[in-house]
Structure 1
Amino acid sequence: MRPLGILLLSGGHERAHYALVMATAAAALGRDVTLFATNAGCRLFLAPSPLLADAREAVLAERGVATLAVLLEAAGELGLRRIACEAGLRAEGLAGGALAPGVEVAGVATFLAAVGEGQMLSL
């Protein structure tokens, strides 16, 4: 199967949630997945992520939908490659901030090399 690259530009809960839904589903199907967060999207990879405090987390849990917290844990278990964009972190004033365990800091060239001839999705 071809690799899948997901580019997360948004810092909002909905897009981060769906990026993780797509990433974990693809990884569960055996695809190599790289989730690359840049600019406001880098907030997903902070430790702890401020997106976990979003009111939608409780709503999703009440409705039996996997939350960001659950999906982040699954991403780690499934071996998803998670990259926070070095320039994106600087642009958002997040450089030097604590990132979740396993999150790499790299640039666009690293992301493109990881995806190669695979597919890309942008959220």
Structure 2
Amino acid sequence: MTAVTPGGGAPAPEDLAILLLDGGYERAHYALVLAVSGLALGRSVVLFAAGGGVQALARDWRGLRDAGQDAQMAARGVATFETLRDAVVELDCDLLACEAGLRLCGLRHEALLASVRVAGVPTFLDAARGRQVITL
């Protein structure tokens, strides 16, 4: 089964697959920056949060390590975590949370944003086929 872009075809090489492995605020924030930027440029984006990175897709994302940095970002005029997450959802990013990562973090599916699908590594690998892969 080949992953499909929102337009219905196979992914183009410029489409993105972002693998967020880390549960730290800075990497999660930048994963969202990359996703929003790709989506704004018309690229299809899949964001797979694994390990501690699943905290980024939880409704309450303050479980991220150093989440308090968000106030500093806002004070300096940088897009906040909420702003970026809202944009990713609005722009139809394919959001995947690793089932094992949820268990690792003690989170249930209900704790995630409504648009997040729980999936395993094989689903991500299938979705990433033919895309540029970025790991954070």
**Is the TM value for this pair above 0.5?**
yes
| CA deviation after TM superposition for structure 1 residue 109, in Å | 1.2
Counterpart mapping for 1:1-123 below 5 A: 1-2=12-13, 3-50=15-62, 51=64, 54-123=67-136
Kindly indicate whether the alpha-carbon contact (under 8 Å) linking 2:46 and 2:128 is maintained by their aligned counterparts in 1. yes
- Identity rate, percent: 48
The amino acid of 2:81's aligned partner reads: L
SS at match of 2:37: helix
Kindly indicate whether the alpha-carbon contact (under 8 Å) linking 2:18 and 2:46 is maintained by their aligned counterparts in 1. yes
Q: TM-score, normalised by structure 1?
A: 0.92
Kindly indicate whether the alpha-carbon contact (under 8 Å) linking 1:46 and 1:99 is maintained by their aligned counterparts in 2. yes
Q: TM-score, normalised by structure 2?
A: 0.83
Unaligned runs of 5+ in 2: 1-11
| CA deviation after TM superposition for structure 1 residue 97, in Å | 5.0
| CA deviation after TM superposition for structure 1 residue 66, in Å | 0.4
SS at match of 1:10: coil
The amino acid of 2:106's aligned partner reads: G
Give the CA RMSD over aligned residues. 1.7
Q: Which residue of 1 aligns with 2:9?
A: none
SS at match of 2:111: coil
**Which aligned segments of 4 or more residues in structure 1 are displaced greater than 6 angstroms?**
none
